Amino acid sequence: MSNTKPTYQELEKRLAAAESIVKALKNHEVDAVVGEKTIAFLLLSEVEKALRISDAGFRAMFELSGIGMIQADAPGFRFTRVNQKFCEIAGYAAEELLSKTYIGLTHPEDRQRDMTDLARILRGQANSWSIEKRCVRKDGSLIWAGVHGAVLRDDTGRAVRIVAMISDITASKQAEQELRDAESAAEQGKPMRPKKVVDKKARESAGRKSSDKPRLKRR
- 56 and 161: one domain? yes
Kindly report the CATH number assigned to the domain that includes residue 92: 3.30.450.20
Sheet holding 142-153, edge to edge: 79-82, 68-73, 159-168, 142-153, 128-136
- 190 and 163: one domain? no
Number of structural domains in the chain: 2
Note the helical H segments in 4-135. Answer: 8-26, 36-53, 55-62, 84-90, 94-97, 111-122
Q: Give residue-wise pLDDT tens across range 87-103.
A: 999 999 999 999 999 99
- 187 and 205: one domain? yes
- 71 and 106: one domain? yes
More confident residue, 88 or 29: 88
- 196 and 108: one domain? no
Q: What is the pLDDT of residue 40?
A: 56
The rounded distance, in Å, linking the Cα atoms of 188 and 183 is 9
The rounded distance, in Å, linking the Cα atoms of 158 and 74 is 9
- 67 and 151: one domain? yes
Which amino acid is present at 97? L
- Across-strand partners of 106? 135
Q: Give residue-wise pLDDT tens across range 162-207.
A: 989 899 999 999 999 899 888 888 888 765 555 443 344 444 444 4
- 98 and 199: one domain? no
pLDDT at 7 over 60: no
Best CA proximity match to 126, nearest among 106, 145, 153, 88: 153
- 72 and 161: one domain? yes
Q: Does residue 219 sit within a domain?
A: no
More confident residue, 109 or 22: 109
- Residue 196 belongs to domain spanning: 174-212
- 133 and 199: one domain? no
The rounded distance, in Å, linking the Cα atoms of 185 and 199 is 19
- 182 and 119: one domain? no
